Structure 1
Amino acid sequence: MDRLDYSIIELFTEQPGVSVLSAARELGVARPTIQARLNRMRDRGILVDIVPKLAPEPMGFPVQAMTMLQIDQRVGHSGLHDDLLDIPEVIDFSTMAGPWDVLLRIVARSNSDLQRVIDKIARLHAVSRTSTSIVLRDVARNRLLPLMDEATAADRDD
């Protein structure tokens, strides 16, 4: 990773719909250079995908919540991931170590709709307990640019 890689990621993060050609013009490098750098970052697993950021609020889902799940250890995670993917209001989830087994980010149309979604999740076969907190405001999400900036700091110091 070098400063150009950082600049490419920064540009695509700030302008998700930018084309490779526009990025090349803005950064002052050839289009094939941008494409080669993107391909290399994908091949190395640094760049997973370039997708637009979607906001659930304008789509009618202004309520966000974080829900933690405890899994019945006799049942385990078998089938749970597919069951969660079948619930459209579950927009992110991760498995965890510790007292909770799964962390979900869910959205809903209202607080009463949130209750419906939580009830649907709680009824899943593998789930033994849930705990939910409503998100008041997203302050920082997927904050990787500062980490990337730190990783490329040595390149800038040269």
Structure 2
Amino acid sequence: MDDLDARLIELFATEPRVGVLEASRRLGVARGTVQARLDRLAGSGVVTGWGPELSPAALGHPVTGFLTLEIRQEPRAGGHQAVADHLAAIPEVLEAHTITGAGDLWVRVVARSNTDLQRVIDAVLAEPRIVRSSTVIALATQVPYRVLPLARAAAAD
């Protein structure tokens, strides 16, 4: 990751519809250089997608909850993967992570209302391998998910 990579990522993150030719003009480098850099960044896994970013709130799901799940630890119970498969089938589950500390999985969910959040939690808890859960509701987003500052810092190293 160097300064050109960081500037390229920032340009495409802030203006996702900019084309390779326009990016090369704005950054003052050859079109082939931009394309090669984008291909390398995608091939190495730094750039993971080119799709639109969606707003759950604009899709009618303004409530965000974070669930900490404890799962049955018996070897024949299926473990994390079986629970992950169950969670992946619930549209309101945005992400799930295996964690350390109190709990085994951390799950971000969205809902249409606080009442609807109960329906989502009930759907999550329908998996018998989940033995306990706790939920917190997000009141406001202070720092949204972001990676650009990390890319800038990586380029500066």
User: Are 1:146 and 2:113 matched, yes or no?
Assistant: no
Cα gap change, 1:93/1:17 in structure 2, threshold over 3 Å: closer, same or farther? farther
Deviations 1:64-122 (A, max 9, x none): 11111111112222421111110000011111122211111111011110000001111
The count of residues paired between Structure 1 and Structure 2 equals 154
Distance 1:104 1:18, change over 3 A: farther
TM-score w.r.t. length of structure 2:
0.89
Deviation at 1:30, TM superposition (A): 2.4
| 1:5 equivalent in alignment to 2:8 | no
Q: Which amino acid in structure 2 is aligned with residue 134 of structure 1?
A: I
**SS in structure 2 of the partner of residue 57 of structure 1:** coil
Displacement after TM superposition at 1:27 (Å): 1.9
Aligned position for 1:107:
110
Q: In the alignment, what sits opposite 2:122?
A: 119
Give the superposition deviation at 1:34: 1.3
Counterpart residue identity of residue 30, structure 2:
A
- Write the distance in 2 (CA, Å) between the matches of 1:18 and 1:145: 17
Describe how 1:4-153 pairs up with structure 2 within 5 A.
4-74=4-74, 75=77, 76-153=79-156
**Equivalent residues of 1:63, 1:114 under 8 A apart:** yes
Contact 1:69 1:127 in 2 (8 A): yes
Q: Distance in 1 between the 2:73 and 2:11 partners?
A: 45
Distance 2:144 2:72 in 1: 30
How far is 1:137 from its partner? 1.6
Structure 2 unmatched ranges of 5 or more: none
Counterpart of 2:148, as a letter, is L
Deviates more, 1:28-37 or 1:102-111: 28-37
Give the conservation status (yes or no) of the 8 Å contact 1:70–1:100: yes
Coordinate RMSD, CA, aligned: 1.6
Over 6 Å off, 4+ runs: none
Give the 3 Å change call, closer, same or farther, for CA 44–78 of structure 1 in structure 2. Answer: closer
Distance 2:66 2:18 in 1: 31
Identical-residue share of aligned pairs (%): 45
TM-score normalized by structure 1?
0.89
- CA 1:135–1:16: 2 relative to 1, 3 Å: farther
Residues 129-155 of structure 1 show CA distances to partners (whole Å, capped at 9, x for unaligned) of 11111111222233322222122225x
- Measured in 1, the distance between the counterparts of 2:128 and 2:17 equals 40
Secondary structure of 1:45's counterpart equals: coil
* CA distance in structure 2 between the aligned counterparts of 1:18 and 1:125, rounded to whole angstroms: 48
